């Protein structure tokens, strides 16, 4: 098993920040990477722990009680996260998503949300602040999250059938608990809600239609996510990926059979959007397809990821990060931190999903050293 714990610093500019000078391309505006992609989204993992053991993310056999989760002192504090988020905002970040692990397990997460909600982009706008959760703690927390300044929530749910869902989360958690969480989030005003469903062939593909019908009736956006070869512990195999095109075929057939309204494609709302969006013709709801395996969308990927212990990752499939925590704790000032992040972004050329198809089969899945999704955040 390859579970990298200590990530070497790839780019020494982080350890020895560019002092006092902005990298040259910054002179004319916000940084672009080597593929000319701007920095727009920041995903922040606030914990590497979770109360689920989804087999595609934190398989029970690996993530046991003896698993070396990060000790508390290694985690970025809320003040450190906010300071970094402010630096990212000056470099173009407009959207922050809190993730994990299960982000709602981080103690007093509302305090972090309050700090992040105060951050302004250079034009004075607040950032779009959202969170991805398995929904189990929403009945308790939706109201306080909203009050703290969270704008929206995305909730993961892989099946409506209770037995299938209990097997997939692998801790025997009932589907009713997540449905209650979804209701609590809606009632608290955390909409428009999105529901994420990872589709694994032979495991929950028979749940595609029941899920689509349920969330269409509920008027919520359901997003189908292709099972990805992220991390090195989930035993990923290509034959377990159900391509989004087949999910769409299934929905179209259901529409032809009168089980769902017809679907029409939507224009992309923003560059770098991960999902291809479709809308039901009667305006009741949208569906999305996140097709990282069969239709790579690296070309305009504008997402940076900050791990729980303050490593900056430039790609979900990266296996090395850039040590921002070390930089923060070395006493660097805000200008140095901002310049270092800009420098790392400008050196970025990651596009793993585009390259995947050309990689030999034996180099995919566990054969590649990679960071776990629960550490880097989805
Ligand atoms: N615990 C929270 C949750 O499940 O929503 C947030 C973290 S989770 C890592 C973020 C998202 O990544 C979830 O929607 C999850 O379904 C998705 N995910 C995890 N492992 C995946 C995989 N191997 N392929 C595709 N999506 C995955
Ligand atoms: Fe936990 Fe989310 Fe991973 Fe499932 S997908 S194990 S809920 S972090
Ligand atoms: Fe972005 Fe990496 Fe995913 Fe491509 S593979 S879309 S570069 S995170």
Which pLDDT score is estimated for 368? 59
pLDDT value at residue 26: 55
Mean of the pLDDT values across residues 47-69? 95
Q: Which residues pair with 241 in a beta bridge?
A: 200
Mean pLDDT over each residue of the chain, to the nearest integer: 90
Is any ligand 3 atom within 6 A of the Cβ of residue 291? Answer: no
Query: Is the predicted pLDDT of residue 163 greater than 70, yes or no?
Result: yes
Res 235: pLDDT: 81
Element (H, E) at 228: none
Measured in Å, residue 227 CA sits from the centre of ligand 1 at 9
Measured in angstroms, how far is the CA atom of residue 229 from the centroid of ligand 1? 12
What's the CA-to-centroid distance between 315 and ligand 3, angstroms?
Answer: 5
Q: Which atom of ligand 1 is nearest to the CA of 196?
A: 14
- Residues of the chain above pLDDT 90, percent: 78
Question: What are residue 288's phi and psi, to 5 degrees?
Answer: -130, 155
Q: Which ligand is nearest to the CA of 319?
A: 3
* Closest ligand (CA of 225): 1
Does the pLDDT at position 273 exceed 70? yes
pLDDT interval class at 363 (50, 70, 90): low
221-236 pLDDT, tens digit each: 999 999 998 877 778 8
Confidence of residue 370 (pLDDT cuts 50, 70, 90): low
Average of pLDDT values for 80-101? 98
* 8 Å CB contact between 309 and 75: yes
Per-residue pLDDT, 270: 83
Q: Read off the pLDDT band of 358 (50, 70, 90).
A: confident
Cβ neighbours for 256, distance < 8 A, ≥ 6 positions apart? none
More confident residue, 355 or 332: 332
Confidence (pLDDT) at 296 = 83
**Contacts for 247 with CB less than 8 Å, ≥ 6 apart:** 199, 208, 224, 289
Give the length of the chain: 378
Interatomic CA distance for residues 339 and 324, integer angstroms? 12
Work out the pLDDT band at 364, boundaries 50, 70, 90.
low
Output the CA 298–ligand 3 centroid distance in Å.
5
**Mean local confidence (pLDDT), 123-138:** 97
Q: How far is the CA of 176 from the centre of ligand 2 (A)?
A: 17
User: 41 CB less than 6 Å from ligand 3?
Assistant: no
Share of the chain above pLDDT 70, in %: 89
38 lines ligand 2 (CB under 6 A): no
Record the tokens describing residue 215, joined without a space: 């969330």
Q: What is the pLDDT of residue 233?
A: 79
d(CA 108, CA 50): 16
**Token pair listed for 128:** 């779009």
Residue owning the nearest CA to atom 12 of ligand 1: 378
Q: How far apart are CA 265 and CA 304, in angstroms?
A: 28
State the average pLDDT over residues 44-52: 98
For ligand 3, say whether the CB of 313 is within 6 Å of any of its atoms: no
pLDDT of residue 323: 97
Q: Is the peptide bond before 192 cis (omega within 30 degrees of 0)?
A: yes
Is the shortest distance between the CB of 228 and ligand 3 below 6 Å? no
* Pocket lining: 301 vs ligand 3, CB cutoff 6 Å: yes
Tokens 């790392």, residue located: 344
Long-range contacts made by residues 362-368, C-beta under 8 angstroms, separation at least 24? 364/229, 364/236, 364/238, 365/229, 365/232, 365/235, 365/236, 365/237, 366/1, 366/2, 366/232, 366/233, 366/235, 366/236, 368/229, 368/232, 368/317, 368/319
Say whether 14 sits in a helix, a strand or coil.
helix
Q: Is the pLDDT of residue 214 over 90?
A: yes
Q: Distance of CA 372 to CAs 48, 55, 233, 253, Å?
A: 9, 12, 8, 36
**Within a 13 Å sphere around the CA of 324, how many CA atoms are in the beta-carbon half?**
35
Least confident of 77-81, 147-151, 232-236, 301-305: 232-236
What number does the ligand 3 atom closest to the CA of 301 have?
A: 1
Give residue 269's pLDDT band: very low, low, confident or very high (50, 70, 90): confident
311 Cα: distance to centroid of ligand 3 (angstroms): 17
Q: How far is 368 from 155, CA to CA, in rounded Å? A: 29
Domains of the chain plus CATH, in order, are 8-194+301-376 (3.20.20.70)
Give me the pLDDT at residue 187, please.
98
């Amino acid at each position: 098993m390859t579970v990298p714990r200590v990530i070497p610093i790839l780019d020494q500019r982080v350890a020895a920040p560019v002092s006092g000078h902005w990298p040259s391309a910054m002179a004319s505006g916000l940084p672009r990477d080597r593929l000319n992609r701007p920095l727009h989204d920041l995903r922040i993992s606030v914990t590497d722990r979770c109360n689920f053991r989804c087999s595609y993310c934190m398989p029970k056999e690996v993530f046991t009680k003896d698993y070396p989760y990060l000790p508390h002192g290694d985690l970025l504090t809320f003040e450190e996260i906010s300071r970094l988020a402010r630096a990212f905002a000056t470099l173009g970040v407009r959207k922050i998503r809190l993730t994990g692990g299960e982000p709602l397990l981080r103690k007093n997460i509302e305090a972090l949300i309050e700090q992040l909600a105060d951050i302004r982009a250079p034009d004075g706008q607040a950032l779009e602040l959202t969170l991805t959760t398995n929904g189990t703690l929403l009945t308790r927390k939706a109201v306080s999250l909203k009050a703290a300044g969270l704008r929206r929530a995305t909730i993961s749910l892989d099946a409506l059938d209770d037995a299938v869902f209990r097997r997939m989360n692998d801790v025997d958690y009932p589907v009713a608990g997540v449905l209650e969480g979804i209701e609590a989030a809606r009632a608290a005003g955390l909409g428009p809600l999105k529901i994420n469903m990872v589709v694994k062939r032979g495991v929950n593909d028979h749940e595609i239609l029941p899920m689509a019908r349920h969330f269409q009736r509920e008027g919520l956006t359901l997003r189908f996510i292709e099972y990805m070869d992220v991390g090195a512990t989930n035993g990923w195999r290509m034959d377990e990926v159900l391509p989004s095109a087949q999910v769409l075929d299934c929905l179209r057939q259901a529409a032809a059979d009168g089980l769902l309204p017809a679907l029409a494609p939507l224009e992309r709302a923003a560059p770098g959007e991960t999902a291809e969006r479709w809308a039901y013709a009667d305006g009741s709801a949208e569906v999305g397809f996140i097709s990282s395996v069969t239709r790579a969308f690296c070309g305009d990927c504008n997402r940076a990821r900050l791990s729980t212990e303050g490593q900056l990752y430039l790609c979900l499939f990266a296996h090395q990060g850039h040590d921002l925590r070390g930089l923060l704790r070395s006493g660097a000032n805000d200008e140095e931190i901002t310049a270092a992040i800009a420098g790392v972004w400008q050196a970025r050329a990651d596009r793993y999903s585009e390259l995947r198809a050309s990689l030999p089969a034996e180099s995919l899945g566990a054969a590649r050293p990679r960071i776990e999704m629960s550490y880097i955040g989805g």
